[in-house]
């Protein structure tokens, strides 16, 4: 089925994906691991005591956080992933009380739901999170130039140049309902504006190693 014919997976399809879907060799790439490490670094920077991870996938992030002393609860619609809580993200407040977690981590998840649920879910994040919400979303762009340089001069700390030139790429992965920049209706600025209706947007950036992952740090209103 082509990308034009398919527009994301249904809730039932998401709930029935086998565990092996998340631990196959497709994930053994530098970019995939770099994105997971970036998630860990952001969580560590924000210093929460309790974390709700939405969509634990293969468990890499939650496992490392737990071993590092964070109290982590995982949530997913798919029981095959063995999350701590199985449920539908659109009904998140059925499972958790207000201000239950210092931080909510939701990485590469929201694009798997129709965009009509976006504001609803952000509203629930606003209620359930105490301090921060970390979201990552796929961003479609074609990289024209990617410059990454790390250099050291005696008596001066390491210096880094990390710069890239991009243009929008009007496509998306067929199993996603939407992605940032895949059409003008889903531009980065429009996604940010939607977030600001429900949360305080603190910072946003493209992951320096996985250029198609856009990170957002938000706080409850």
The model's pLDDT over 164-191, given as tens digits with 9 standing for 90+, comes to 898 888 889 999 999 999 999 999 999 9
Question: How many whole angstroms separate alpha carbon 101 and alpha carbon 206?
Answer: 26
What CATH number belongs to 11-220? 3.40.50.150
pTM of the predicted model as reported, rounded to 2 decimal places: 0.92
pLDDT in tens, 17-69: 999 988 888 888 888 899 999 999 999 999 999 999 999 999 999 999 999 99
pLDDT bin (cut points 50, 70, 90) of residue 6 is low
At 143, list the tokens: 């990289």
Instruction: Break the chain into its structural domains and give their ranges.
Output: 11-220
Phi then psi dihedrals of residue 129, to 5 deg: -85, 140
């Amino acid at each position: 089925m082509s990308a034009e014919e398919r527009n994301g997976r249904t809730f039932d399809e998401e709930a029935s994906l086998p565990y092996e879907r998340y631990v196959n060799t497709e994930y053994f790439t530098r970019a995939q691991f770099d994105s997971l490490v970036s998630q860990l670094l952001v969580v560590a920077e924000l210093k929460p005591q309790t974390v709700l991870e939405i969509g634990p996938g293969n468990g890499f992030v939650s496992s490392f956080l737990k071993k590092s002393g964070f109290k982590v609860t995982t949530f997913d619609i798919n029981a095959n992933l063995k999350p701590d809580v199985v449920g539908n993200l659109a009904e998140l407040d059925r499972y958790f009380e207000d201000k239950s977690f210092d931080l909510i981590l939701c990485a590469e998840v929201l694009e798997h739901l129709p965009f009509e649920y976006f504001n609803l879910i952000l509203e629930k994040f606003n209620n359930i999170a105490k301090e921060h919400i970390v979201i990552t979303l796929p961003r479609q762009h074609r990289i024209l130039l990617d410059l990454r340089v790390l250099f050291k001069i005696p008596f001066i700390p390491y210096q880094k140049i990390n710069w890239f030139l991009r243009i929008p790429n009007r496509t998306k992965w067929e199993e996603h309902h939407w992605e940032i920049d895949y059409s003008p209706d889903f531009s980065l600025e429009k996604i940010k504006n939607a977030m600001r209706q429900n949360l305080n947007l603190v910072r946003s950036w493209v992951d320096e190693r996985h250029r198609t992952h856009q990170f957002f740090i938000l706080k409850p209103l």
